[in-house]
Structure 1
Amino acid sequence: MNCSPLAITIALLFASFASAETPQSLRVLSYNIHHCEGSDGKVDLPRIAKVIKSAAPDVVLLQEVDRHVARSGNIDQAVEIGRLTGMHVAFGGNLKIREGDYGNAILSRYPLRDVENRQLPNSNGGEPRGVLSVVVTVPNAEGEQDCRILATHFDHRPAPVDRLASVDDIEQWLSTENRLVVLGGDFNATQVSSVLEQIRKSWRLAVDGQKPTFPATTPSRQIDFISYRSPAPIQVSEVRVLDEAVASDHRPILATLILAGDQ
């Protein structure tokens, strides 16, 4: 089939216009993987990797990740899951388990830089917790932009003291940040808690309605969240909990953020 030069020019212009009008998105998945041990008692990294890949995320925030711990086969889980998913990876250990480490990890389609693992407030001998931070450059509606991605796992004890202190610590740390920041993970708090009330003062939750994530077998409450803040407008086009009841004791939650232009 032969096309005239005019027809080709019109087609190219239309394609260019359509591409420019297509919004750019950032798909963020948060998943407490329970050191890859499922409700069936099996430690299965390929199963976790399969769940992650099924959501086609751009960045993944992981909690309860083992590195060289006997209970999970002395494997560097973050590196192995990164290999299985084909994503860049960073790990932040917060708790020593014999010769190994236990903490958070971030996977990303985009290269990672400025990797930092920050310890969070810990009172009365609680389990050490932290927040892992990376910077990635992602495409947006006008080209590309830098954004900071944070993965965390707050204290689990009934009293919210350390959780509230952790929210304040992160807020003070990022007080001068002037770009899109995404904070997600296992907050060990529900929508109606003082912890979420404190978070809402500086962050927008990807969803305000209930999206139960725990326990994975029959989810009854949401304690896993994705939040963000940005100097430019951000829209959320989708938030859903993946229908996965076996791979971990939590279900993963996915949020798709529609990015604005340069900030």
Structure 2
Amino acid sequence: MTRFNVLLAFLLLFGTAGGSAVAAEPTRVRVLSYNIHHGEGTDGKVDLERLARVIQSVKPDVVALQEVDRGVNRTSKVDEPAELGRLTGMQPIFERNIIFEGGDYGNAILSRLPVTSHKNIPLPLHYVGEQRGALVAELTAPDGRTPLRLIATHLDYHSNDGERRDSVKRLEELAGEAPDRPTLLVGDLNSLPDSEVLTLFEANWKRSTSTPLSTFPSDKPSRQIDYVLFRPASRWKVVENRVLDEPVASDHRPLLVVLELAD
């Protein structure tokens, strides 16, 4: 028997029949949270190509975007989700939360993963003004078989936590629709790491990092208000957390989290 045949026999015996000698590649999901400030950077320029370059630089599987315009006067009536989808080669999903300057304003998702369905859920509203929402997308994980839920949101900014606390309850109800499904909650929560809002979330969600990673303001970040949360905790392992060093493209810096999905 030749050396090649010996090697081939070994691989067949231990790699396929044994089933344990060759380890399967882990399923990882690269998640980016980015409040894009309707595409306007700190230099006052609306530049979607610049934003697309920032996004593409870390090759995310999914991106949760906040403060997104579609057909709005201030951004020359551009369909920002569609344009960012074109520029990044990712599938755009957008849902309006309010009508603004002749167009739509809300949250968006960019996805390289297959999208099964999506819906927009209004969140509790305590003030006359901006309605908030949760964009819920049903995806298929990179392994090609595991259902994955992504909830992209942007919570209220007022100093009183009341609306945010009620939003936590509504988001908990959404996640409770499929409690065993691997679920990600991604976005601008307008809450500090030691806030009551994050404490409420952490009853059933796990934060990607226990150490604050400052994301705002982008020129000199001093506090974290952008997050990636996940559940059930047993289904996820955090591989990487980092804030991208991008001070100009938006008033927030993007947060990248790489997660490993367990069987």
TM-score for the superposition, normalised by structure 2: 0.92
Q: State the 1:88 CA deviation.
A: 1.1
Q: State the 1:214 CA deviation.
A: 0.1
Q: State the 1:124 CA deviation.
A: 2.7
Q: What is residue 248 of structure 2 aligned with on the other side?
A: 246
- The change in CA–CA distance for 1:193 and 1:17 in structure 2 (over 3 A counts) is same
Q: What is residue 130 of structure 2 aligned with on the other side?
A: 127
Q: Deviations over 1:130-180 (max 9, x none)?
A: 01010111134xx63001001000001111111111110111232231200
Q: State the 1:185 CA deviation.
A: 0.3
Are 1:116 and 2:139 an aligned pair?
Answer: no
- The change in CA–CA distance for 1:63 and 1:3 in structure 2 (over 3 A counts) is farther
Q: Deviations over 1:69-115 (max 9, x none)?
A: 11112111011101111111110110111320111001111121221
Q: Hey, what's the Cα distance between the residues in 2 that align with 1:19 and 1:50?
A: 37
- The change in CA–CA distance for 1:214 and 1:231 in structure 2 (over 3 A counts) is closer
Q: Hey, what's the Cα distance between the residues in 1 that align with 2:123 and 2:192?
A: 20
Q: What is residue 145 of structure 2 aligned with on the other side?
A: 144
Q: What is residue 7 of structure 1 aligned with on the other side?
A: 7
Q: What is residue 92 of structure 1 aligned with on the other side?
A: 95
Q: C-alpha root-mean-square deviation of aligned residues, in Å?
A: 2.0
Q: Hey, what's the Cα distance between the residues in 2 that align with 1:227 and 1:9?
A: 46
Structure 2, unpaired ranges of 5+: none
- The amino acid that maps onto 2:154 is H
Q: State the 1:20 CA deviation.
A: 3.6
Q: State the 1:10 CA deviation.
A: 4.3
Q: What is residue 155 of structure 1 aligned with on the other side?
A: 156
- The amino acid that maps onto 1:164 is R
- The change in CA–CA distance for 1:153 and 1:17 in structure 2 (over 3 A counts) is same
- The change in CA–CA distance for 1:101 and 1:9 in structure 2 (over 3 A counts) is farther
Structure 1, unpaired ranges of 5+: none
- The amino acid that maps onto 1:137 is T
Q: Hey, what's the Cα distance between the residues in 2 that align with 1:31 and 1:19?
A: 38
Give the number of equivalent residue pairs. 258
**Secondary structure of 1:30 counterpart:** strand
Q: Hey, what's the Cα distance between the residues in 2 that align with 1:136 and 1:183?
A: 13
Q: What is residue 185 of structure 1 aligned with on the other side?
A: 187
- The change in CA–CA distance for 1:88 and 1:39 in structure 2 (over 3 A counts) is same
Q: State the 1:123 CA deviation.
A: 1.2
- The change in CA–CA distance for 1:32 and 1:183 in structure 2 (over 3 A counts) is same
Q: State the 1:202 CA deviation.
A: 1.2
- The amino acid that maps onto 1:179 is R
Q: Hey, what's the Cα distance between the residues in 2 that align with 1:101 and 1:164?
A: 26
- The amino acid that maps onto 1:122 is L
- The amino acid that maps onto 1:238 is E
Are 1:172 and 2:173 an aligned pair?
Answer: yes
Q: Hey, what's the Cα distance between the residues in 1 that align with 2:89 and 2:138?
A: 18
Q: Which moved more, 1:15-24 or 1:206-215?
A: 15-24
Q: Hey, what's the Cα distance between the residues in 1 that align with 2:104 and 2:216?
A: 24
Q: Which moved more, 1:118-127 or 1:10-19?
A: 10-19
- The amino acid that maps onto 2:65 is L
Q: Hey, what's the Cα distance between the residues in 1 that align with 2:203 and 2:8?
A: 52
Are 1:46 and 2:54 an aligned pair?
Answer: no
